[in-house]
Amino acid sequence: MNGPIPTQYPHQHLPITPKMQDRIRAEGWRPPAVVLATDEAVGELPLGAIVKSGVYAYHKDRLGWFRTGHPSPMTPPLPVTVLWTPDVDG
């Protein structure tokens, strides 16, 4: 399930309580993935971040971006989808 957690039931004006929102999260809700379209935005990601571009995943190391299974650093082509960041997902 992606997208913001609703604050009211669809087609009704009944609020969704914080307790209900917690249950929605527990059932697997997660926010939509962030898509970055500039080199500047990609460069601001913290060390350890993982992004996807096309069919490849890339992780950010102190030496640069590395494509999964590739020994040399390379910049991921834009746009990229952010899969994980250590400061957001812990």
Residue range 28-83, pLDDT digits in tens: 877 788 999 999 999 999 999 999 999 999 999 999 999 998 889 999 999 999 99
Phi, psi of 20 (to 5 degrees): -65, -40
Same domain, 73 and 37: yes
Same domain, 17 and 37: no
Query: How far from chain centre, in Å, is Cα 41?
Result: 13
CA distance 20 to 26: 10
Structure confidence at residue 89 as a pLDDT band (50, 70, 90): very low
Same domain, 42 and 79: yes
Q: Can you give the pLDDT at residue 24?
A: 82
Same domain, 14 and 39: no
Domain count, the chain: 2
Same domain, 84 and 47: yes
Q: Can you give the pLDDT at residue 16?
A: 73
Same domain, 43 and 16: no
Same domain, 79 and 59: yes
Q: Can you give the pLDDT at residue 67?
A: 94
Residues of the domain holding 18: 1-30
> Does the pLDDT at position 12 exceed 70?
no
